Structure 1
Amino acid sequence: MKILFVEDDDRIARPVVEDLRHQKYIVDYVADGLTAWAYAEASEYDCILLDLMLPKLDGITLCKRIRQSGYSGFILMLTAKDTVTDRVLGLDAGADDYLVKPFAIEELSARIRALSRRPQQFQDQVLQRGQLRMNLQTREVDYAQQPLDLTPKEFMLLECLMKRPSTVFTCEMLLDQVCELDRQAGTGTIRTHLTNLRRKFKQLGCQQNPIRTIYGVGYRLSSNGYNL
Structure 2
Amino acid sequence: MLNVLLIEDDFDFAETVGDYLELESIVCDYASNGVAGLQLVGENAYDVILLDLNLPRLDGLSLCERLRAAGNDTPILMLTARDRLDDKLAGFEAGTDDYLVKPFELKELVVRIHALAKRRSGQIRVLRCGDLEMNLKEGSVVRAGRGIRLSPTGWKILETLLRASPAVVSRQKLMDAVWGETPPDSNSLKVHLFNLRKAVDGPFAMPLLHTVPGKGFAVKAEDGS
Same fold, judged at TM 0.5 (above): yes
Displacement of 1:144 after TM fit? 4.1
Code of the aligned partner of 2:90? L
Matched residue, 1:181:
none
Matched residue, 2:170:
135
User: What is the alpha-carbon distance in structure 2 between the residues aligned to residue 138 and residue 125 of structure 1?
Assistant: 9
Q: TM-score of the superposition, structure 2-length normalised?
A: 0.59
1:56-75 correspondence to structure 2 within 5 Å: 56-75=57-76
User: What is the alpha-carbon distance in structure 1 between the residues aligned to residue 61 and residue 165 of structure 2?
Assistant: 32
Of residues 44-53 and 114-123 in structure 1, the stretch that sits farther from structure 2 once superposed is 114-123
Displacement of 1:57 after TM fit? 0.9
Q: Tell me if 1:109 matches 2:144.
A: no
User: What is the alpha-carbon distance in structure 1 between the residues aligned to residue 92 and residue 44 of structure 2?
Assistant: 23
Say whether the 8 Å CA contact 1:77–1:90 is kept in structure 2.
Answer: yes
CA 1:129 to 1:43, structure 2 compared with 1: closer, same or farther past 3 Å?
closer
Say whether the 8 Å CA contact 1:4–1:29 is kept in structure 2.
Answer: yes
User: What is the alpha-carbon distance in structure 2 between the residues aligned to residue 43 and residue 9 of structure 1?
Assistant: 22
- The SS at the match of 2:169 is strand
- Gapped regions of structure 2 (runs ≥ 5): 128-158, 176-209
User: What is the alpha-carbon distance in structure 2 between the residues aligned to residue 87 and residue 54 of structure 1?
Assistant: 17
Q: TM-score of the superposition, structure 1-length normalised?
A: 0.58
> How many residues were matched structurally?
156
Cα displacement string for residues 207-226 of structure 1 (whole angstroms, at most 9, x for unaligned residues): xxx8xxxxxxxxx53x9xxx
Q: Tell me if 1:147 matches 2:182.
A: no
- Gapped regions of structure 1 (runs ≥ 5): 150-158, 167-209, 211-219, 224-228
Matched residue, 1:16:
17
- CA RMSD, aligned part only? 3.4
Identity of aligned residues (%): 36
Matched residue, 2:138:
none
Matched residue, 1:87:
88
1:112-191 correspondence to structure 2 within 5 Å: 112-118=113-119, 120-121=121-122, 122=124, 124-126=159-161, 133-135=168-170, 138=173, 144=211, 146-148=213-215, 165=220
Cα displacement string for residues 97-134 of structure 1 (whole angstroms, at most 9, x for unaligned residues): 0000011110100111121234644595445889x952
Of residues 119-128 and 85-94 in structure 1, the stretch that sits farther from structure 2 once superposed is 119-128
